[in-house]
């Protein structure tokens, strides 16, 4: 306004207005230049002096910069703390992308697995951890249960790996040294196997004397006769217990692995039927529906043990008799061996624990029936060896159905097959069925140390 008035007075309004505009433009450009070079220099320097709108802009940007620097510092500190704490963790932590390529790992993981920076960064983890079990675990995404393997870099060390998928199927892997646990577990297994084995000899001697005494039983007083009968029963029970314990420890340790081959189901079931017959009373009525051309790929004596345990249980726990149906049904996705009874049934809350060793729904009931409490634990381990799963459906007072589901590559309907081989290792998949005995049991996985 002042420029117009002065221009009017001196008679050069236009020239003065132009001069003013150029001056203002120059000043604005100069401030812009100042602003630009301050931003380029930036760092922590205070903004150049300026008045008016430019002063306000400088101050506002300066305040913003200070705020951003502060939050950046805070974030870096937090990140450092996370990095330091994961570096100090005794557990190894590994981050790998969705394809399994290594992105980051802490010091413990480096030590436990022998990972080296920077060579191993970006490498597929399966190339570095060359272990067939790990390869299967990782490529087939069997992350439901942890995996125990030998350390690739330290002799005699056992590692437990637990993988979680996050973000876009990236892998977060925790590695733990479980050598002590593994050795303890091994000691427990060895102890059970050795103790059971050592008990066999004295028991055989006792049984021998009891047999001799039984021959002269009629000449002995009544009380002695009862004693001999009782001792004979108990020694038989003990013999079953020892046999079951030995079988279970063989199954657990995978010692003396029995070869797997194609077996005719009818033959196995015929042997099972013969075992079961002496236990049946007149009230029991048992039927076998096994197609004659059905075959299963497995270990003869293991499958016999599992199937006979289920059939014997159905008889033992059907005291009032009733119909027992033993069936083999082949679907598109599996072959199912099932034993259905109309006996006592089981309360659903007990079902998840049935495959634990020595678990009995009713302690008194178990010892009356002469059971060892190991039958279903044996069934479970046999099924693990055959990549199969156990499903239990039951209703107290109405009966139970125990079904063993075998994968398709283990079942065939005709006799062509002596040469086909399949993978005999690995644990069964979990099922979603509510009453699946393998689902909640602490003994579910072949990799978990069992109770
Ligand atoms: P046991 O030698 O006591 O039979 P198992 O491991 O075979 O041991 O079975 C564990 C428990 O499961 C049994 O004690 C019994 O309570 C229950 N059980 C197993 N099978 C049946 C069945 N068919 N009907 C009812 N209860 C059963």
Distance in Å, CA 360 to ligand 1 centroid: 6
Structure-token pair, residue 294: 């059905």
Residue 440: pLDDT over 80: no
Please give the CATH number for the structural domain made up of 261-438.
3.30.565.10
By C-alpha distance, which of 219, 234, 302, 312 is closest to 268?
302
By C-alpha distance, which of 207, 234, 231 is closest to 220?
231
Residues 62/66/67/72 CA torsion (nearest 10 deg): 140
Q: The dihedral of CA 59, 60, 64, 67: what is its sign?
A: positive
Ligand 1 within 6 A of CB of 346: yes
Ligand 1 within 6 A of CB of 272: no
By C-alpha distance, which of 125, 302, 305 is closest to 115?
125
Distance in Å, CA 346 to ligand 1 centroid: 9
Please answer whether residues 321 and 284 qualify as being in contact, where contact means their C-beta atoms are separated by less than 8 angstroms.
yes
Ligand 1 within 6 A of CB of 361: yes
By C-alpha distance, which of 421, 383, 417, 420 is closest to 403?
383
pLDDT for position 439: 38
Question: What's the angle, vertex CA 401, arms to CA 399 and CA 406, rounded to 5?
Answer: 175
pLDDT for position 36: 87
The tally of CA atoms less than 13 A away on the side-chain side of residue 233 is 11
Model pLDDT for residues 11-67, shown as the tens digit of each residue: 788 888 889 899 989 988 988 888 888 888 766 778 888 878 888 888 898 899 899
CATH class of domain segment(s) 181-253: mainly alpha
Domain residue extents for the chain: 2-85, 89-177, 181-253, 261-438
Question: What's the angle, vertex CA 95, arms to CA 89 and CA 98, rounded to 5?
Answer: 160
Distance in Å, CA 147 to ligand 1 centroid: 30
By C-alpha distance, which of 79, 108, 84, 106 is closest to 95?
106
Q: How far is CA 261 from the centre of its chain?
A: 27
Q: Which CATH architecture has domain 89-177?
A: 2-Layer Sandwich (3.30)
Instruction: Give the residue, out of 354, 364, 368, 450, with the most ligand 1 atoms within 8 A of its beta carbon, to mutate for a pocket test.
Output: 354
Mean pLDDT computed over every residue of the chain: 86
pLDDT for position 369: 62
Distance in Å, CA 393 to ligand 1 centroid: 13
Of all residues in the chain, the percent with pLDDT exceeding 70 is: 89
Model pLDDT for residues 164-221, shown as the tens digit of each residue: 999 989 999 999 999 999 999 889 989 999 999 999 999 999 999 999 999 988 888 8
Distance in Å, CA 350 to ligand 1 centroid: 10
Which whole number is the average pLDDT over 217-242? Answer: 90
- Considering only CA atoms, which residue is closest to atom 19 of ligand 1? 313
- For the packed helices 300-316 and 265-276, what is the interaxial angle rounded to 10 degrees? 40
- For the packed helices 2-10 and 13-41, what is the interaxial angle rounded to 10 degrees? 140
Ligand 1 within 6 A of CB of 314: yes
Alpha-carbon distance of 280 to 323, in angstroms, equals 11
Distance in Å, CA 10 to ligand 1 centroid: 117
- Considering only CA atoms, which residue is closest to atom 13 of ligand 1? 360
- Considering only CA atoms, which residue is closest to atom 7 of ligand 1? 375
- For the packed helices 300-316 and 375-385, what is the interaxial angle rounded to 10 degrees? 150
């Amino acid at each position: 306004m002042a420029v117009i008035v002065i221009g009017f007075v001196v008679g050069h309004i236009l020239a003065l207005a132009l001069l003013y505009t150029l001056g203002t433009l120059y000043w604005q450009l100069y401030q812009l230049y100042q602003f630009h070079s301050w931003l380029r220099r930036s760092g922590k320097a205070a903004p150049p002096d300026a008045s008016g709108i430019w002063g306000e802009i400088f101050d506002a940007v300066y305040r913003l910069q200070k705020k951003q620097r502060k939050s950046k510092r805070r974030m870096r500190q937090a990140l450092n703390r996370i990095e330091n704490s994961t570096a100090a963790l005794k557990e190894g932590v590994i981050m790998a992308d969705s394809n399994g390529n290594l992105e980051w790992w802490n010091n413990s993981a480096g030590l436990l697995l022998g990972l080296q920076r920077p060579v191993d960064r970006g490498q597929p983890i399966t190339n570095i951890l060359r272990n067939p079990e790990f390869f299967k675990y990782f490529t087939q995404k069997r992350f439901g249960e942890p995996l125990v393997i030998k350390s690739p870099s330290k002799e005699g060390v056992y590692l437990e790996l637990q993988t979680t998928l996050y973000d876009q199927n990236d892998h977060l892997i925790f590695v733990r040294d479980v050598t002590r646990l593994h050795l303890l577990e091994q000691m427990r297994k060895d102890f059970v196997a050795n103790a059971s084995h050592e008990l066999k000899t004295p028991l055989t001697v006792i049984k021998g004397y009891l047999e001799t005494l039984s021959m002269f039983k009629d000449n002995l007083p009544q009380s002695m006769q009862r004693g001999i009968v009782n001792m004979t029963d108990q020694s038989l029970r003990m013999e079953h217990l020892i046999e079951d314990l030995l079988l279970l420890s063989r199954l657990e340790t995978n010692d003396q692995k029995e070869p797997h081959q194609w077996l005719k189901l009818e033959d196995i079931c015929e042997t099972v039927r013969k075992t079961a017959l002496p236990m049946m009373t007149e009230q029991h009525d048992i039927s076998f529906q096994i197609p004659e051309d059905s075959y299963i790929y497995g270990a003869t004596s293991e499958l016999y043990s599992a199937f006979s345990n289920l059939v014997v249980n159905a008889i033992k726990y059907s005291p009032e008799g009733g119909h027992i149906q033993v069936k083999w049904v082949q679907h598109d996705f599996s072959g199912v061996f099932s034993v259905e009874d109309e006996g006592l049934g089981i309360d659903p809350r007990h079902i998840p624990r049935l495959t634990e060793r020595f678990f009995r729904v009713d302690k008194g009931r178990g010892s009356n029936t002469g059971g060892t409490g190991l039958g279903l634990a044996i069934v479970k381990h046999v099924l693990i060896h055959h990549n199969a799963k156990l499903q239990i459906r039951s209703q107290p007072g109405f009966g139970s159905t125990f079904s063993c589901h075998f994968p398709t590559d283990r079942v065939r309907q005709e006799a062509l097959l002596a040469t086909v081989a399949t993978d005999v290792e690995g644990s069964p998949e979990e099922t979603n069925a509510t009453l699946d005995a393998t689902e909640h049991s602490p003994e579910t996985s072949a990799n978990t140390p069992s109770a």
